[in-house]
Amino acid sequence: MKNILKYFSFFIILNFISCDDGYNNTQVNVIGSGIPLSSFKAVLGAPENNRTCFTGKSISETKSEVTFKWSDQIKTDFSEDRYYYILEITDLNINVTKMITPISRNSTVVVLDKGTPYSWRIITQSNTDESVVVASELWKFYLAGNGIVNYVPFPAQLKTPVSGSTVSRDANDMVTFSWEGSDPDVGDTLSYTLFVDALDGEQIPPNDQSNLSSNTLKVKLNSDTIYYWRIETSDGKDSSYSLISAFRTK
């Protein structure tokens, strides 16, 4: 329990000082007798990335057991009392993350909601040095529901403007918005709608910000104003919404 509390304190501090995904993998370059830190990055196995029809083991009408598997890049003499794993799972519909820890083996079983998109990754955490935190790649999958034919697109990942930043406008008073969309259904064509306003990011956008085929757009904005923005992603049948992000213009 002491180690778990230490980890969560460390995790909170990192989120305030880092602008990346919350884990700075460059703080320590080597572990022990010169072993590169990057060698301890877990290799994800299952559920596979962008898997759409993943069913797991059904245990009720709404829940399934999902087995997560991963492996190590190298074998060392670092026993489980030296490091452990943390499984980070995020419900992409509501952006709620759960941390399964500590894990001393390369697999674990978690009960999750059916018909829901998730992302997951493995964090390798040292027991002896809190600065040693190595994050794996981030994978996504869709846990199948009962009778689902079309899967809702994954919520878009907002790129720029970065949340909490102050942004300069160009010579025409324009700000560039960019994002990344993806869909668990192979072959679907995605379109996007950019919501941006100075109230809450939920006001109806103009036509030229709707049904976009590109994942970038320039918008004319006022100076010295706090704006809120989000992206709606549609596959022609279903839509998903990103989180709302805020920034200030110079």
Using alpha carbons, select from 40, 96, 42, 50 the residue that is nearest to residue 69: 42
Q: Which residues are registered as beta bridge partners of 68?
A: 108
**Alpha carbons 144 and 148: distance in angstroms, whole number:** 7
Q: pLDDT by residue (tens digit) across 14-58?
A: 333 233 344 444 344 444 545 666 677 889 999 999 887 688 888
Distances (CA, A) of 205 to 49, 170, 211, 222: 33, 21, 11, 16
- Give the contacts of 77 (CB within 8 A, at least 6 positions apart): none
Q: What is the predicted pLDDT for the residue at 11?
A: 35
Please tell me whether residue 37 adopts helix, strand or coil conformation: helix
Q: What is the predicted pLDDT for the residue at 94?
A: 87
Domains of the chain: 2-143 (2.60.40.10), 154-249 (2.60.40.10)
- The more confidently predicted of residues 18 and 249 is 249
Q: pLDDT by residue (tens digit) across 94-134?
A: 889 999 988 888 899 999 999 899 999 999 887 777 766 78
Q: What is the predicted pLDDT for the residue at 209?
A: 97
Site of tokens 């778990």: 4
**Which residue type occupies 146?**
N
Share of the chain above pLDDT 70, in %: 78
Cβ–Cβ under 8 Å, residues 244 and 163: no
Cβ–Cβ under 8 Å, residues 141 and 91: no
**Alpha carbons 250 and 247: distance in angstroms, whole number:** 10
Instruction: Flag whether pLDDT at 84 surpasses 80.
Output: yes
Structure tokens at 172: 């025409």
Cβ–Cβ under 8 Å, residues 223 and 249: yes
Instruction: Flag whether pLDDT at 242 surpasses 60.
Output: yes
Over residues 165-177, mean pLDDT: 97
Instruction: Give the pTM.
Output: 0.53
